[in-house]
Structure 1
Amino acid sequence: MRSAATNPPIIKLTDLKSPVLTALQQGALAMAAAHPVTFSVEAVLAAARAETGLTDFGAVDFLPRLAVWLQSIDEDDNASAITRANLFQMTVRYAATRLRMEDIIRRHPEILAIHIDRPIIVAGLPRSGTTHLLGLLSADKRLRSLPWWEAIAPVPAPGDEPTQADPNPRHTRAAQGWQAYESLLPYMAIMHEFSADHISEDIELQALDFSSYLIEWLAHVPRWRDFYLSQDQRGPYAYMKKAMQVLTFLRGPNRWVIKCPQHMEQLPALYDTFPDATFVLTHRDPVGSIRSAMTMALYAARILRKKISPAEPASYWPDRYERLLRACVRDRDILPVAQTIDVYFHEWIKNPDAILREIYARAGLPLTDAALAELHAYLEAHGEQDKGRLEYDLEGDFGLTAEAIRKSFGFYFARFPVKAEVA
């Protein structure tokens, strides 16, 4: 629920370039440094086998991708010990989840016959209206969504059974994990509100096949970026669909709403995987999203990077967004007109209900006034808290201006009637 405060505090992060570390941050860095990790395919697979007691990873075509994934992380000389530990643990988690996925499919082969019925798929840059839209759609109980607690532990492990003391251990772990992260980086919640119930991006399911642009957000991995962009992503998207079948088997229904910015650069793979989907593409001035991404990276750098360098995010993210949006412009017209809607932020904020009705019409789902009121009521009760507003300073923090960044996106503004917002 949004805060009732009419004047949320404006927060200026004054130590982005020269962070003053808290005792908790210093302790976390020291603990991670005392327990170094080794990035190798066998180390990851062995840890996943030991965690699960399982051995069958399914098709092994993911192994070359995993090798490049790990090599790219290992080459990041400026990654802190926390970054390395987190990425190793995350990679093991994906491998362990894959083992559990393959195990439940082996025991229940009927899973692969489950039909994923006409999903609604949202693709749009961060801060382009996707969070609000996804929140509304996921409140519709006719649709299946992916809360964070389930995204990071899709298949229950032994010990995850509900008890009177803890009806959902997976949810409890997810909540504890986010609270620990927020205690290390308290302002992250302002830049990216999160909780165990937050509806996750489906990128967590693509990562089970060791692909996607995910690790680009967590380390400096140009080798992985180039490798990932050179590969046909239909295989990883097919694995994501298989994971959705498993999740439907465990906790239906079989009509999904999913979201990920990456879909904007993978429209051919997305359409081939879900040819009967309703595609919702959200659009907004990319400068705002880039500014947010760079500021988030520079803030997190105090524990994720050895040395603070505003040039790292400033040299990476404008170029990365340009690559993504060029692919979107190139491939947008492969999506069927009758199944696709472009949503513009300046229109969404004026009249979201009219756009929502059009999405439902294209998806073939009835949306009554009463049902629409229920969606708004749910979002009001379960939405994000307004913890303040961050004051951004592109020029002061990164030596860039909105105008200079926007010049690289003329092709995007020429294709889509997006309004420039950031001055």
Structure 2
Amino acid sequence: MSGTQTQEPAEIRIDDMADPVVTPAIQAARHGPEGQPDRMTVDQVLAQAMADAGGLNDFGEDQGFRTRMAVTLQAWDEDEGLTRGGRITLLNHMVRVMVNRLRIEDLVKRRPEILDIEIDRPLFIAGLPRSGTTHLVNWLSRDERLRSLTLWESEEPVQLRALAPGEVDPRAARSAELWGAFEAMLPHMAAMHGMDAASIHEDNELLYMDLNCYSWEFQSRIPRWIDHYFAHDRTPSYAYEKKVLQVLTWHRGPNRWLLKSPQHMENLAAIKTVFPDATMVITHRDPIAVLRSLTTMLGYSDRIRRDPVDPPALARLWLDRIEKLLRACIDQREAWGPDQSADILFHEYMADQERVMRQVYRLADLDLTPEVEGQLLGYLEENPRNKHGKVIYDLEGVFGVDEAAARERFAFYYERFPVRQEA
């Protein structure tokens, strides 16, 4: 069983990428809510977070997060394409993750035993965006022996009160409302990267709490931030992520985590330092196919936060960024030996998903019981590829990328990992 579908998926063509149709909802998103500032200083962000957290004021040890915040704010000011609403959305996100940090520090201060919780042999999934990592983490999360991270839980990791029997967690309700409105504005997102509040999500949100998450780059064009990020050690930020995982485990076990993010691909050494007993699975896909998919997804969503959208500039930025990510991956790959890591080629993964499942379970020393195997195979039946439609990409025509020249830039990666080049 390969988990593939028998019926051809509907084709989705986004023909207004360069000059998007601006609906009233998108226009409102571009403008943003009245009465909110679209520019803030570090002190103003922290003051707003303390107010929103009910007066908590201890952000914990600062190993550079304030400096990273200042760099991020300056980089957003330099991003001339961001609309007022786009900047407000980013600032609100920054305030929210600082509220989370305040609540984490407060909880750990009151319950110091949290820091004694063992994070046992976590399973990390790394890989380029659009290389099957989301599918893999949601698939493996069917195994309840592994602790996984829902989108809503990643956004608000601290539970503030006990729930009544049968009560829906208000954090889940808030996330569902947010992402429901997002997908209502952008109906094709479900076919590219659905944001269901209950789905299993990247642990990027946990790195946000130390202001060291690369996902800012998905929402803005911030070369200053990228330069600062690569110039500094990210190990302390993964150590902070471990603290957040301990908090989440204290709320609800088990303590063996399943985690995934493309950002892990460029932080292999840091993860090995903080989680030395982990298992690392890295998916590899033709970076040109990744670029086609990623620029289409980001270019489509840019209409709610940028004016003009400028697809060629977006493609140039991500051509450079993917090269940086892949070079970092190759430079750090030897941090993980074959007894704790595996490289999964996308075309082989898609051709035989069951084989990959068994390979990962052997590597992680997890018993693949008949019950778990049935749950995992059931997921493949329920979630065929292109379930919500097949998006048609045009990297050269819409984004102005010379694919042949771009492939030459990635020759170093093709030589290291035998990914299949996708036409």
Structure 1 residues 344 and 384: CA distance shift in structure 2, 3 A: closer
Q: Partner of 2:408 in structure 1?
A: 407
User: What is the distance in 2 between the residues matched to 1:86 and 1:395?
Assistant: 31
Q: Partner of 2:358 in structure 1?
A: 357
Counterpart of 1:140 (choices 143, 148, 151) is 143
Q: Partner of 1:94 in structure 2?
A: 97
TM-score (norm 2): 0.94
Q: Partner of 1:196 in structure 2?
A: 197
- How big is the shift at 1:214? 1.8
Q: Partner of 1:230 in structure 2?
A: 231
Does residue 123 of structure 2 align to residue 154 of structure 1? no
Aligned to 1:55, what secondary structure does the other structure show?
Answer: coil
- How big is the shift at 1:34? 6.1
Counterpart of 1:67 (choices 70, 87, 94) is 70
User: What is the distance in 1 between the residues matched to 2:355 and 2:259?
Assistant: 21
Structure 1 residues 311 and 153: CA distance shift in structure 2, 3 A: same
Contact kept in structure 2, 1:283 and 1:342, CA below 8 Å: yes
Q: Partner of 2:49 in structure 1?
A: 48
Does residue 396 of structure 2 align to residue 420 of structure 1? no
Contact kept in structure 1, 2:151 and 2:197, CA below 8 Å: yes
Q: Partner of 1:173 in structure 2?
A: 174
Contact kept in structure 2, 1:11 and 1:390, CA below 8 Å: yes
Contact kept in structure 2, 1:33 and 1:82, CA below 8 Å: no
Moved over 6 A (4+): 2-5, 382-385
- How big is the shift at 1:129? 2.0
- How big is the shift at 1:332? 0.7
**1:93 partner amino acid:** R
- How big is the shift at 1:380? 4.4
- How big is the shift at 1:145? 0.6
Name the stretch that deviates more: 126-135 or 136-145.
126-135
Gaps of 5+ in 2: none
- How big is the shift at 1:384? 8.4
Q: Deviations over 1:173-194 (max 9, x none)?
A: 1111100111122222222122
Aligned to 2:104, what secondary structure does the other structure show?
Answer: helix
User: What is the distance in 2 between the residues matched to 1:380 and 1:305?
Assistant: 38
User: What is the distance in 1 between the residues matched to 2:344 and 2:288?
Assistant: 17
Structure 1 residues 246 and 168: CA distance shift in structure 2, 3 A: same
Q: Deviations over 1:201-246 (max 9, x none)?
A: 1111011011121211110100000000111001000000110010
Structure 1 residues 285 and 31: CA distance shift in structure 2, 3 A: closer
Identity %: 45
Q: Partner of 1:122 in structure 2?
A: 125
Q: Partner of 1:291 in structure 2?
A: 292
Structure 1 residues 273 and 283: CA distance shift in structure 2, 3 A: same
Aligned to 1:337, what secondary structure does the other structure show?
Answer: coil
- How big is the shift at 1:31? 4.1
Does residue 60 of structure 2 align to residue 24 of structure 1? no
User: What is the distance in 2 between the residues matched to 1:64 and 1:170?
Assistant: 29
- How big is the shift at 1:3? 11
- How big is the shift at 1:29? 2.7
Gaps of 5+ in 1: none
Contact kept in structure 1, 2:283 and 2:345, CA below 8 Å: yes
Q: Deviations over 1:126-181 (max 9, x none)?
A: 222212211221111000011001000100235xx434674211111111110011
User: What is the distance in 2 between the residues matched to 1:354 and 1:8?
Assistant: 25
Structure 1 residues 339 and 38: CA distance shift in structure 2, 3 A: same
Q: Partner of 2:222 in structure 1?
A: 221
Aligned to 1:280, what secondary structure does the other structure show?
Answer: strand
- How big is the shift at 1:12? 1.2
Structure 1 residues 49 and 374: CA distance shift in structure 2, 3 A: same
**1:89 partner amino acid:** N
Query: RMSD over aligned Cα, in angstroms?
Result: 2.0
- How big is the shift at 1:378? 4.3
Structure 1 residues 364 and 397: CA distance shift in structure 2, 3 A: same
Aligned to 2:97, what secondary structure does the other structure show?
Answer: helix
Q: Deviations over 1:322-364 (max 9, x none)?
A: 0100111111112122111111111112222222212111211
Structure 1 residues 213 and 31: CA distance shift in structure 2, 3 A: closer
User: What is the distance in 2 between the residues matched to 1:104 and 1:43?
Assistant: 24
User: What is the distance in 1 between the residues matched to 2:357 and 2:28?
Assistant: 47
User: What is the distance in 2 between the residues matched to 1:252 and 1:382?
Assistant: 26
User: What is the distance in 1 between the residues matched to 2:5 and 2:268?
Assistant: 39
Name the stretch that deviates more: 116-125 or 350-359.
350-359
User: What is the distance in 2 between the residues matched to 1:39 and 1:319?
Assistant: 29
- How big is the shift at 1:87? 0.4
- How big is the shift at 1:96? 0.1
**1:335 partner amino acid:** W
Name the stretch that deviates more: 260-269 or 63-72.
63-72
User: What is the distance in 1 between the residues matched to 2:381 and 2:149?
Assistant: 19
